[in-house]
Each structure stands twice: as structure tokens, then as C-alpha cells.
């Protein structure tokens, strides 16, 4: 088995660690920063696993297809996906190599899904959004929906620490998720709602506690209704500590997430790019001091509501401290494609081609815990 892993950042390293633990025979890790890829290859190389490092320029189709040649599957952690999602998938289609990524942006997800026929004609399987949210959350939604006779509503909720190991790509994603209008699914129709709207406080298990969440720009409302018969799908996100999330939203309301350049002393500056650089610098310099010692934990919740045997029933799935989950899910998805556990040809989100129970068994082997709670209506 040969897997080409694109991206030597935080998510790429987590995926690499899992692939090595799974004793994948051959891994090529490719990044624009070849030195970074070489460092990871050296750090994780074992007698059982051959790891090599290659240079790749995700803006150069020829560079991408060259590094993909001979692979059983390509696993892409190159972000931001608003810039690189479609580019990398198109290269995989041209190279006729199966593909998995962790695309978590709405429009690129639609653009990738629109490549379904091209991927099918190339006889490849492409699983997109195979990370944490989207990814594992989508499969929790599918799992809960399979237990109901009728699905009324699916709510996906995520909370992310202000300090992230995933760097500038994650910050860019957060700016996009909390800016402008974002997709939702209401009464059987796709609609746009203002990012940051419809705030509610969710009480998570400790150490997270109560967190304010609001509509955020994620692709789950765009993909889940394609595969699950449901009336309403929403995705809400939040940032911990809570004050950091509130300040972040306020930051963006001042136009600091805009993409139109403005002149600063005669020099064109894109506000969004400035904001990313500023936040990255700030968090690296004073991040831990800023949060005052608060414990930052990533948490995700999926709520599936509907009817079972004529009774109102809901299933709730919680994942606590799942910071590493996206990289692990990417690695598992890639291995499932190679093993033949995923056979459909074309482009699919996880819920379109993966059986949840089989995937959850793989998570369980790696020590990841997903709790399930059922609430059923009863007459007294």
C-alpha cells in the first residue's frame, strides 16, 4: 500500500502518525516546504514503514500529478481548502488516483461535488470532508438517522479552542465561517443565514461547560440532506474561551475579514490577510497568557431528532477533547478506500459512501470515545 500524504502541517502530522501506527507499507509526505516534510519523515520512519519526503506546489497541476503517480490513494491536508480543495482534487482526477481530503469550507465542497462525473469517468473514489467536522460528525448524523423511522432535524455543533495547532489555514477558515451569510437547511430548502446569528448556550460535559454557539459556515447542511431524508440541518460553532469568540466576531464586524484590498501608506493590504498574520503572531507570543490558564478543549455534538415507533426520539453524540480527530479520520478514510471498504466511484461526502459502524470501530481501536444518549417520549 502506497499513500501520498499532502501537507506537512498539524493535520498532516496527525494523519502520518496514524498511518505509521497502522503500518502502511509506503508513505510519501509532500509539502511546499520540503524541509518540513523531511523532518516529519525522519521523525516517524520505522523499520516496517518506508517514508519519503517530496516537494509539491499545490498551485502547479503538473507538480501535483507527478507526486501522485503510483499511489493507491492521495490524502490531502493542504489548506485552506477555499484555495486548494478543487485544485488538488482535479489533479487526482487527472492522475486517476483515489482521493480523500478534509475540506471544511462550504463553496469548495460544492465545487468538489460538481466534479463527481469527472471522477467517476476517471474510475476513482474521492471522499471529501473526511475530518472532524465535517467528517466524523456527518457519520454520527447518519448513524442516528439510521435508528429513526423519520428524521426531523439534525444539529451539528462544534467548539474550538482559540489557540490551534493548525496555523494560518485554520484561522482563514474561521474567518470565512464567521463572516457574511452561511448555508443552512430549513423545511426542506437550502437557505442562507447570517453568520453569528441564532445564538444559543450549549451545556457540554466538563471540562468544557457552557459555551455560546451560533450559525457558522460549514458544508454539513449542504451535503447531509443529499443522503438523509431530513427537514432541517444546521451547523453552529463557537470558540473557547467564550470571550475570545465574542471578540473574534466583533473583529470581523469591523471589516477585518474583508477580501478587498485597502491602501495603508500607499501599499495595498488585504484586511483578511492582515488579520490572519496579526492573530497568528498574537497567539504565538501571548496565547497562553491571554487565556489566563483556562483549559481549552475541543468538543463536538450531533443531535438527531425524529420519530421511532411513533414516538418523538432524539440521539445525541458527544466527542470531547477530539483535537486530533481530523487527522486520524483522514488516515482512516484513506485506508478504507485502499482496503475496498469504500467502493463507490465519484465524489462523495462521508455520509454518502461510508457505513458509520465500520468507521466507528476504527476510531475505537485508536482510543476515541463517542458517547450516545437517547431520549424517547413516553406517556406517564
The pLDDT, as a whole number, for residue 117 is 99
Range with the poorest average pLDDT among 186-200, 263-277, 362-376: 263-277
Output the pLDDT for position 165. Answer: 55
Q: How far apart are CA 156 and CA 68, in angstroms?
A: 34
Q: What is the grid cell recorded at 309? A: 415507533
Percent of the chain topping pLDDT 90:
72
> What pLDDT score was predicted for residue 285?
60
Q: Looking at residues 162-166, what average pLDDT do you find?
A: 62
Highest-scoring range by mean pLDDT, 45-49, 164-168, 256-260, 277-281? 45-49
- Determine the Cα–Cα distance for residues 69 and 356; give it in Å rounded to an integer: 30
pLDDT at 291: 47
Per-residue buried b or exposed e for 248-267, using 16+ beta carbons within 10 Å of the residue's own CB = bbebbeeebbbeeeeeeeee
Q: Quickly state the pLDDT bin for 271 (edges 50, 70, 90).
A: confident
338 pLDDT more than 60: yes
pLDDT on residue 293: 47
pLDDT tens-digit series, residues 207-231: 788 999 999 999 999 999 999 999 9
φ/ψ (deg, to 5) at 31: -155, 155
All structural domains of the chain:
2-131+323-365 (3.40.50.720), 136-320 (3.30.360.10)
Beta bridge partners of 233: 154, 185
Rounded Cα–Cα distance for residues 107 and 339 (Å): 30
Record the pTM: 0.91
Least confident stretch, 17-31, 65-79, 183-197, 295-309:
295-309
Distance CA 37, CA 35 (A): 5
Amino acid at each position: 500500500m502506497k499513500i501520498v500524504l499532502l501537507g506537512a502541517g498539524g493535520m498532516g502530522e496527525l494523519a502520518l502518525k496514524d498511518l505509521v501506527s497502522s503500518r502502511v507499507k509506503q508513505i510519501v509526505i509532500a509539502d511546499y516546504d520540503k524541509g518540513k516534510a523531511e523532518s516529519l519523515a525522519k521523525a516517524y520512519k520505522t523499520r516496517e514503514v518506508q517514508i519519503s519526503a517530496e516537494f509539491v506546489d499545490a498551485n502547479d497541476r503538473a507538480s501535483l500529478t507527478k507526486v501522485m503517480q503510483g499511489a493507491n490513494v492521495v490524502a490531502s491536508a493542504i489548506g485552506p481548502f477555499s484555495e486548494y480543495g478543487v485544485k488538488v482534487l482535479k489533479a487526482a482526477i487527472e492522475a486517476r488516483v483515489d482521493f480523500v481530503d478534509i475540506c471544511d469550507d462550504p463553496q469548495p465542497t460544492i465545487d468538489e461535488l460538481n466534479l463527481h462525473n469527472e471522477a467517476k469517468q476517471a474510475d476513482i473514489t474521492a471522499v471529501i470532508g473526511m475530518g472532524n467536522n465535517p467528517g466524523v460528525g456527518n457519520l454520527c448524523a447518519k448513524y442516528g438517522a439510521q435508528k429513526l423511522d423519520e428524521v426531523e432535524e439534525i444539529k451539528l455543533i462544534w467548539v474550538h479552542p482559540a489557540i490551534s495547532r493548525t496555523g494560518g489555514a485554520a484561522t482563514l477558515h474561521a474567518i470565512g465561517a464567521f463572516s457574511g451569510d452561511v448555508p443552512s437547511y430549513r423545511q426542506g430548502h437550502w437557505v442562507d443565514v447570517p453568520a453569528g446569528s441564532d445564538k444559543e448556550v450549549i451545556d457540554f460535559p466538563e471540562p468544557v461547560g457552557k459555551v455560546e454557539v451560533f450559525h457558522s459556515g460549514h458544508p454539513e447542511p449542504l451535503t447531509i440532506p443529499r443522503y438523509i431524508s431530513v427537514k432541517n440541518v444546521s451547523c453552529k460553532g463557537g470558540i473557547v474561551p467564550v470571550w475570545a469568540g465574542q471578540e473574534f466576531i466583533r473583529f470581523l464586524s469591523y471589516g477585518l475579514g474583508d477580501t478587498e484590498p485597502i491602501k495603508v501608506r500607499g501599499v495595498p493590504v488585504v484586511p483578511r490577510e492582515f488579520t490572519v498574520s496579526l492573530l497568528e503572531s498574537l497567539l504565538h507570543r501571548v496565547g497562553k497568557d491571554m487565556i489566563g490558564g483556562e483549559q481549552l478543549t475541543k468538543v463536538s455534538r450531533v443531535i438527531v431528532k425524529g420519530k421511532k415507533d411513533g414516538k418523538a426520539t432524539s440521539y445525541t453524540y458527544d466527542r470531547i477533547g477530539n483535537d486530533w480527530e481530523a487527522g486520524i479520520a483522514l488516515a482512516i478514510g484513506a485506508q478504507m478506500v485502499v482496503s475496498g471498504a469504500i467502493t463507490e466511484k465519484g465524489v462523495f461526502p462521508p455520509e454518502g459512501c461510508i457505513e458509520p459502524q465500520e468507521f466507528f470501530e476504527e476510531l475505537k481501536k485508536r482510543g476515541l470515545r463517542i458517547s450516545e444518549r437517547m431520549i424517547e417520549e413516553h406517556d406517564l
